[in-house]
Structure 1
Amino acid sequence: MKKTRLSLFPGLLFISSALMATELKTVSPEQLLDMQQNQNALVVDIRTEAEWQASGILSNSLKLQSFDPQGRFDQAKWVAALEQLKSSPDQPVILICRSGNRSARVGDFLTRQLGMKNVHHLQNGLQSWLESGGPVSPNCLQVACK
């Protein structure tokens, strides 16, 4: 009996390390800036058009609304659009929403269900960005705003 348990242990370590590799990571506003500047991180604002209009967006971020006004998420369409925005398959992606809830849900979907690596979300969303004194730009009509 003990021999069987010990032989399963290396397999369990492998599985747990594989799961750890695809977990969503949380970043602070400072880490977001560092990753954007030093790792070419793609910063994706997943909020709604109304939210972009109300509060503006982070400079050098891209707008890619995740949930429509009725709360629906077209996973296939959204992921295809995200892949089009990425410059490489391993480019870090940082998701932003208002409070961190939606970005965590979308990030969990990307990492756990699709197995995407190098996915992050801004802890407490745009609220933490604003509290840290981070600047925002007015909403613009293009997907990418500078």
Structure 2
Amino acid sequence: MKKTFLSLLLLSASLLATVTNENPSQQLVDSSIPIVDIRTPGEWKETGLLKRSIPIMLFDEKGNYDLKVFLEKLNKAVDTKKTFAIICRTGSRTKVLADFLSRKMNYDVINLTNGISYAKYVRLPILPYK
């Protein structure tokens, strides 16, 4: 009985988390939803950051990552009990990360498809990284 209840509880919790896929927009920039940029410092310097973005690197320049360190920084910077958005260069890295954060961490995540490339294309406010 306890195992069944625990299984149902875990299943229902995992069904509550969502991933929303959307392009970066002015509406999102103007909202209070945090935007986490998971690119590398080199990428941030090259293209800048979408206004209000919080830079927290996931993969380094060699493709290595430390998920524990990333999650610690994420949880310090963002209230993960509320919806937040993630952005990378083209949306490839965030697609994988959004699915993981939703399924394994039970976070509600907005995956910004097409990434900073799209944000620059539609001329959203981009600020230099310092």
Coarse TM-score class (shorter-chain normalised) = 0.7 to 0.9
In structure 2, the CA distance between the partners of 1:20 and 1:36, relative to structure 1 (3 Å rule), is farther
- CA offsets per residue over residues 62-95 of structure 1, 9 Å max, x none? 1000001221221111111101002x34332110
Identity %: 27
Normalising by structure 1, what TM-score? 0.73
Q: Does 1:135 align with 2:125?
A: yes
Give 1:37 deviation, angstroms: 3.3
Of 78, 96, 102 in structure 2, the residue corresponding to residue 111 of structure 1 is 102
**What's the secondary structure of 1:72's corresponding residue?**
coil
Contact 2:40–2:57 (Cα < 8 Å) also in 1 = yes
Of 85, 91, 94 in structure 2, the residue corresponding to residue 100 of structure 1 is 91
For 2:80 and 2:55, how far apart are their aligned partners in 1? 19
In structure 2, the CA distance between the partners of 1:82 and 1:37, relative to structure 1 (3 Å rule), is same
In the alignment, structure 1 segments of 5+ residues that lack a partner are: 1-14, 141-146
In structure 2, the CA distance between the partners of 1:48 and 1:89, relative to structure 1 (3 Å rule), is closer
Contact 1:29–1:129 (Cα < 8 Å) also in 2 = yes
In the alignment, structure 2 segments of 5+ residues that lack a partner are: 1-9
Normalising by structure 2, what TM-score? 0.81
For 1:90 and 1:133, how far apart are their aligned partners in 2? 30
Instruction: Report the RMSD for the aligned CA atoms in angstroms.
Output: 2.2
Of 54, 58, 63 in structure 2, the residue corresponding to residue 66 of structure 1 is 58
